[in-house]
Amino acid sequence: MAPGVAAFVAASAGNPHSAVVARPATRVDTGERCAQRCRRRALDTATIAAVTGQSTTRRAPWRTRLSGPYAPATARRATGIALFLQWFIVLTGATVRLTGSGLGCPNWPTCTKTRAVPELKAHELIEFLNRMTTTPTLIAALVSMWICWRLAGPRRRDLRIGSSLVVFGVLVQAALGALTVILELPPEIVSVHYLVSILLISAAVFTWHASGFDRPIGLVRGAAGRTRQLAGVLMLLALLAVIVAGVLTTASGPHSGSAGTGEVVDRFGIFQLAVTLHARGAYAFLVLVVALTSWRARRGPALRDLGILLVLVALQIALGEVQYRNGLPWGVVLAHVVNAALLWLVASRVAIDAAYEPTAGPTSARTAPPTHDEAVAAR
């Protein structure tokens, strides 16, 4: 060793701050910490979270984001989007019919036999855009179903059934839409097409409502529960009868759905009878809603929803009177049809809220791994 180096080493031997002396100890400490981190990372993330109360995951991998498990808040958002699109597609479908664009694209799945997409013409674009609305509606329903089936915590049979029914209903609606075009707007198929949308809204409302609880929901038990369920069923049946009469009115009136393309389609021919039944049923339903509001005269979400329902019924009756006394302008009829779907949505919410409640007792003995949202929140 060179004399200068030897002298420096000898001088540093008694110096506790010497870099030459401290470095080997630092290397040993670093190696031990690295080994500890490696062993810690090899442990199960859920076990570490249970022991330390913190998650060691800084960022969930993309596989976890896709496969779950998902937080209840994620299911709430997904089912809400699916519900909105179920209502929105009623708006686009009614626009097709009331603007006379039902046969703007006379072929299916392409617009015409020679063109896959429509030309830049109003009736063709309106009809084809309604078809395209089915795609995001189906995607939202599929995503909602996937999240409900991969939800963290106990298995939610209510969410799985509800979300699966929505997906199945959207596929049925696609088939009915194809038949509507292929058979050139028969009033029977068109009417069923709208009524299936109404039932789909109920399934979507049930799924969205159930996603707001951290436990599965079930029917309310006891005499009080049976009374509430009976009241909800009677309300929905009464409203469904009014909606069916309204569908028959539209299927017998001047808005056949083909006026813009010059095609002639069959009508039911019972306009006056259907209008009479529809109007009387609407006023009877208004009385029923007032009675239910008085019966549930307690502050809370139920009374609030009944108040909203009461306002929508009054608006629906006003729109019906305006359209009937002004020769059925298509814009007012469109508002009437869309408000009917919104009215059914709120009525379904009221009936489901009255008939179902979260199940009592422990949720589940199964321990689920932490969700992606929980991992991010625990950083």
The 3-state DSSP composition of the chain as helix, strand, coil percent (nearest 5) reads: 70, 0, 25
The verdict on residue 33 lying in a domain is: no
The verdict on residue 52 lying in a domain is: no
The verdict on residue 307 lying in a domain is: yes
Q: Which tokens belong to 196?
A: 């299936």
Q: For residues 151 and 371, what is the distance between their CA atoms, to the nearest angstrom?
A: 9
Nearest Cα neighbor of 195 from 265, 90, 285, 342 is 90
Which residue's entry shows tokens 């496969």? 67
The verdict on residue 8 lying in a domain is: no
The verdict on residue 335 lying in a domain is: yes
The verdict on residue 367 lying in a domain is: no
Q: Is 8 exposed, middle or buried (0-12, 13-18, 19+ CB in 10 A)?
A: middle
E strands along the chain, which residues? 217-219, 356-358
CB atoms within 10 A of CB 191: 16
Secondary structure of residue 14 in the 3-state scheme:
coil
Q: Specify the DSSP element, H or E, that contains 250.
A: helix 222-252
pLDDT given for residue 298 in this prediction? 62
Q: For residues 284 and 94, what is the distance between their CA atoms, to the nearest angstrom?
A: 25
The verdict on residue 365 lying in a domain is: no
Q: For residues 2 and 347, what is the distance between their CA atoms, to the nearest angstrom?
A: 95
Question: The domain containing residue 266 runs over which residues?
Answer: 64-358
Secondary structure of residue 353 in the 3-state scheme:
helix
Q: Which tokens belong to 319?
A: 């729109």
Q: For residues 327 and 323, what is the distance between their CA atoms, to the nearest angstrom?
A: 6
Residue pair 225/219 in contact (Cβ under 8 Å)? The answer is yes
How many structural domains is the chain composed of? 1
The verdict on residue 130 lying in a domain is: yes
pLDDT given for residue 199 in this prediction? 95
Phi first, then psi, for residue 248 (nearest 5°) are -65, -35
Secondary structure of residue 358 in the 3-state scheme:
strand
Q: What is the pLDDT along the chain (379 residues), one digit of tens a residue?
A: 545 544 444 444 445 444 444 444 444 455 566 555 545 444 444 443 444 444 444 445 656 667 778 888 999 999 999 999 999 999 999 999 888 888 888 888 889 888 898 888 888 899 999 999 999 999 999 999 999 999 877 789 999 999 999 999 999 999 999 999 898 888 899 999 999 999 999 999 999 999 999 889 999 988 888 888 998 999 999 999 999 999 998 888 777 666 656 566 777 778 889 899 999 999 999 998 888 877 765 656 777 888 899 999 999 999 999 998 998 898 999 999 999 999 999 999 999 998 998 887 544 333 344 444 444 444 4
